Structure 1
């Protein structure tokens, strides 16, 4: 699906001493003497990390220390850095480790490779528990204890690191690229893997480095020294590890002139990200306390922001208020934007909910999910998904009717896709858990009629005659689903509310045998509290949230489509058997992708980019106009549980100007400016959609 011929899992050979060698490059993964000692000597000491980590405890200006690495390999350098991080006082500071790997190890080989270092076992266990399956090119974000996160990029080194770069206007005056504090260049030796040490790679390193960036590598080859110098580093030759004569350390001497990364269209330069210069005042308003608002508030709070959440009613009272929601996303074998986003969002969400499932046993269950095929054509398409993803059984499996019946505990007439790490959650409990943080204050029954920026702060104003302020902060995030478009700054967004109704069915002696969640046109959750959730309808254009029997009947028809035996488990229920239900609005967009990022000044965008209406390739030379410090996270439709964790992290990284958990093209596909730019190119008027 995301694969290219030059990426694929690593194939290893093991020598007589149990040392792993790459079958592709014919080189060892680390020193035959002691790989961990080599990591500490070359990379940790070579970048002076013990001293720099220790200094963070008294530094209030740098909240995150970022290390970037070429060649993740066995993850030994990451684990060594994490171990060192734990040994130093760090307060609320965070360690972000970015690593790119063209040929990732399989989970089995990763575990075997790290076995010789039992002192790393507590960290190795966390890494192997989250280590993603290979699904081709892409970015995976993993979170660990001790405020440590890992961004693992599967790709060629230069292309993978370039995917972190955003097109910039040199005249904008503010750099928006993530900044790396220390580089580990640990690819196989230049003589065996020349592409890893290319001029293009060092140019990318320059773009991602700041004035105090350092670097270290085991190699002292001429190409390495030249590359660092071209990237603006001062090179120092140091004694190598053990029998290796020399190694290189480097420190940034200056910021050389760098070229903004290439973009497919000149208009992409308008897809800027951070619109708020970070300061010591880390205060944020979040409008909405549903799944999007609570996750955004939590992600910001965990990165040091003090967050005030304003909710019109009570938390999880809108579309996030259903008793059971299913975690799944529809995948495709096609390498298109929507299925690519679905895949990465699903994998992130599965890791994200592990602690919730573990610590909130009544709030959901990681019971697995079956996406049943409705017909032979759909079954064939599902098998293509598994093939395109290289048969990742830990992520998704193609199963026949017999296997599906065994997994679910009920007789099923069709097979489908089985997601072993999916399941259901109670969104209400999930929102409460996300909002339970010392940096978050929640104010319910607060209707925000207007957002207004006054002297550098965003104020939330009521709709009363006096229009008083009910909260203010340095930045504001709008995350209140379809109501987001009622605020004037977001009125041009084409948000569509779609009513959905779920039905509750009383569990029976047969229905409680259902072990997995089922979905086809509709979905059925396993029994919880004596009831099953069945849903959900799609009522575009309907505004009445009162329950109606026609929608209950529609849900019962969905139940029948899951199979004769499933319906029979409930004694072929009629509308009279429905014990309750709930209706709410989903918020969707025309391209079915959420809206995540900074809010443009839409009238200014229309003026600045008017030339796109005449020429789609026109160069936009002026800095883009945005509402400084105003962001949005909405439009998740019926996939909120899958989409929102990744989107909340993406938005937080945008705000903090840190490396995003998605490559730039995918992040741009979620950008709030995309609809207005498309309308301009197509000659349409960008107006309020409300």
Structure 2
């Protein structure tokens, strides 16, 4: 995406393209608190919030993030301990990291909030970037055109910050389609506030179903607008895909997750973060199956021509990098479970070299995300068999078993050892029968047992295919040169951990065996020799 061209007055940015300021040079924070927090009655609403779901604030125009950080600070001051806040904001011209940090340095009182934001600030890639700012506060950044982003949004907003450059400076944004999208993504009774009283805004809000009134503005602005929408339009988009629509009443205070591998432990942590009580049922130990490898590589292989699948993979890579970094930072005294050393993808054939060249031509992505390299040896730290490759600086490797164990260290999660053999629906939810005859009760059940997920009557028709994958480990003799980054070609190899090199992996569809096979080890060694002679 395109970064804005800025001029600076001390640490206050000014948009050269729109000829407008990002925040008031008089007192930007006081203006935000008057226009957006007070006019939406947020201190009172936060203090009274008792719903199990998060309170949702939507914003048109993230800018420097001042409005969102002030809302976060207000939430921390007023909300009860169990409450959660979900922020979402659109931005077509995201600031670079340096510009963002400089702008927010103008508010020392928000330093702890701005530092958390800057630490997670994503690359300027269009789409949705989810940032977990704290245990209770999540920010979704929707990079792209505001109206397009809101029209695609799945969710409903409780309070709107109708911001952005003034209608006279940026008339393209303040169009009827924007107000219609806001209305369609509002909860009944959702409020809004905006600094402007322009006629195009008043007419657009009214046409979309919002009731507005003029209220005192901030500083030299005599008036501003605030209001609400009583009955938003009905969202019928899911009628075409009803299988995505949850039941209207979903009791889910206690959830049993079957399986404590990567899938089970991560979904358990996500549910616990949302205030649910979770029991994780595991027949062996966390990370016992495929999640028990010494190292796992985090990387992505994108299609030559961009498509929805590749966009999903890319979003997953960026989210995982932030997620793992935050988990690692939460336990600084522990050995790192995540190493963002970067990943080198080698082009070992002319066909792959051509594919990589075409990929780079079709994907104008920042070099902080992916870059072409004609010196893969220097990147890898050892001689390779390729003359070119792609480098993903934000990828790396993780210790899956330790990750599973850390995810389960949440006060809302209980680990229960046992094997589920049957699920029985009850009027109150579900009863899980264990192999030893015991039972567990739950409002909802999550099955996260990989290829064994269809071993229940309710899931027997799932067309799952078992694929055998064997990873190899070799102790390196002292002084042996070893890769400094994850290297991928036909297989992959990680930098050594505690003197052991981990590489692989075999890929054998329709094979459920779990014993180690010499033939698979030899295949892994042959792949390693081909890539790193």
Please indicate, yes or no, whether the TM-score normalized by the shorter chain is above 0.5. yes
> Is 1:131 aligned to residue 121 of structure 2?
yes
Give the structure 1 partner of residue 257 of structure 2. Answer: 286
The equivalent residue for 2:142 is 153
User: CA-to-partner distance for each residue in 1:191-248, whole Å, 9 max, x for gaps?
Assistant: 2323322222222222222223111001112222233333433212012211112110
Question: 1:387 Cα deviation (Å)?
Answer: 4.8
Q: Deviations over 1:103-151 (max 9, x none)?
A: 211222222222322222222121111111112x311100112521110
SS of 1:230's equivalent in the other structure is helix
Tell me what 1:331 maps to. Answer: 302
The aligned residue for residue 458 of structure 1 is 430
How far did residue 88 of structure 1 move? 2.6
Q: Which residue of 1 aligns with 2:132?
A: 143
Correspondence 1:268-417 to 2 at 5 A: 268-275=240-247, 277-279=249-251, 282-358=253-329, 359=331, 360-401=334-375, 404-414=376-386, 415-417=388-390
CA separation of 1:159/1:364 partners in 2, compared to 1, >3 Å: closer, same or farther? Answer: closer
CA distance in 2, matches of 1:456, 1:289: 25
1:439 maps onto 2:415 in alignment: no
Measure how far apart 1:15 and its partner are. Answer: 5.3
**DSSP-derived class of the 1:486 partner:** coil
Contact kept? 1:286, 1:309, Cα under 8 Å: yes
Q: Is the 8 A contact 2:472 2:503 kept in 1?
A: yes
Q: Which has the higher contact order (CA 8 A, sep 6+)?
A: 1
Instruction: Describe how 1:180-579 pairs up with structure 2 within 5 A.
Output: 180-252=157-229, 254-258=230-234, 260-261=236-237, 268-275=240-247, 277-279=249-251, 282-358=253-329, 359=331, 360-401=334-375, 404-414=376-386, 415-446=388-419, 448-462=420-434, 470-511=439-480, 513-564=482-533
1:201 alignment partner, SS class: helix
> CA offsets per residue over residues 132-191 of structure 1, 9 Å max, x none?
1112x31110011252111000121121012123xxxxxxxxxxxx22111000022222
Q: 1:512 deviation in Å? A: 5.3
Secondary structure of 1:477's counterpart equals strand
Q: Show structure 1 runs of 5+ residues with no match.
A: 1-7, 166-177, 565-690
2:190–2:228 contact (8 Å) kept in structure 1:
yes
Q: Is the 8 A contact 1:512 1:526 kept in 2?
A: no
Which residue of structure 2 aligns with residue 603 of structure 1? none
Change (3 A) 1:187 1:291: same
Assess, with a 3 A threshold, how the Cα gap between structure 1 residues 143 and 91 changes in structure 2: closer, same or farther.
same
Indicate if the aligned counterparts of 2:184 and 2:233 stay in contact, CA closer than 8 A: no
Secondary structure at the aligned position of 2:453 is classed as: helix
Question: In 1, are the aligned partners of 2:128 and 2:143 still within 8 Å (CA)?
Answer: yes
Residue 69 to residue 124, structure 1, CA distance change in 2 (3 Å): same
Match of 1:658 in 2: none
Q: How many angstroms does 1:386 deviate by?
A: 4.2
Q: Does 1:9 align with 2:2?
A: yes
Q: CA deviation at 1:471?
A: 1.4
Change (3 A) 1:120 1:338: same
The alignment status of 1:88 with 2:55, answered yes or no, reads no
Summarize deviations over 1:624-664 as a string: whole Å, max 9, x none: xxxxxxxxxxxxxxxxxxxxxxxxxxxxxxxxxxxxxxxxx
Give the distance between the partners of 1:329 and 1:15, measured in 2 at CA: 38
2:210 touches 2:227 (CA, 8 Å); kept in 1? yes
Give 3-state SS (helix, strand or coil) of 2:511's partner.
coil
Given that 2:57 and 2:87 are in contact with CA atoms closer than 8 Å, whether structure 1 keeps it comes out as: yes
**Deviation of residue 469 (structure 1)?**
5.7
Distance 2:182 2:451 in 1: 41
Distance 1:259 1:549, change over 3 A: closer
Contact 1:238 1:249 survives alignment (8 Å): yes
Tell me if structure 2 keeps the 8 A contact 1:20–1:29: yes
- Contact kept, 8 Å, 2:132 with 2:138, in 1: the verdict is yes
Looking at structure 1, the residues matched to 82 and 518 of structure 2 have their Cα atoms a distance apart, in angstroms, of 52
Give 1:162-181 correspondences, 5 Å limit.
162-165=151-154, 178-181=155-158
Q: Distance in 2 between matches of 1:288 and 1:408?
A: 36
Q: Distance in 1 between matches of 2:404 and 2:489?
A: 27
Cα distance in 1 between the residues matched to 2:492 and 2:482: 16
Alpha carbons of structure 1 residues 10 and 332: separation in structure 2 relative to 1, 3 Å: same
Q: Over the residues paired in the alignment, what is the CA RMSD in angstroms? A: 2.2
| Match of residue 685 from structure 1 | none
C-alpha distance in 1 between matches for 2:365 and 2:153: 28
Q: Distance in 2 between matches of 1:418 and 1:510?
A: 26
Q: 1:42 aligns with which of 12, 15, 35?
A: 35
- Contact preservation (8 Å) 1:367, 1:516: yes
Alignment partners' CA distance in 1, 2:360 and 2:271: 35
The alignment partner of 1:482 has SS state of helix
Q: TM-score, normalised by structure 2?
A: 0.93
Given candidates 64, 68, 88, the residue that maps to 2:58 is: 68
**SS of corresponding position for 1:206:** helix
User: Is the CA contact 1:12–1:20 (under 8 Å) kept in the aligned structure 2?
Assistant: no
- DSSP 3-state at the match of 2:23: coil
Distance 2:188 2:143 in 1: 28
Deviation per residue, 1:266-308 (Å, 9 max, x gap): 7x332423236245x6110111111000000111011100011
Q: 1:84 to 1:370 in 2, by over 3 A?
A: same
Unaligned 5+ segments in structure 2 are none
Tell me if structure 2 keeps the 8 A contact 1:289–1:314: yes
Measured after TM superposition, the shift of residue 312 of structure 1 is 3.0
Report the number of matched residues: 529
DSSP-derived class of the 2:224 partner? strand
Q: 2:105 aligns with which of 101, 110, 115?
A: 115
For normalisation by structure 1, the TM-score amounts to 0.73
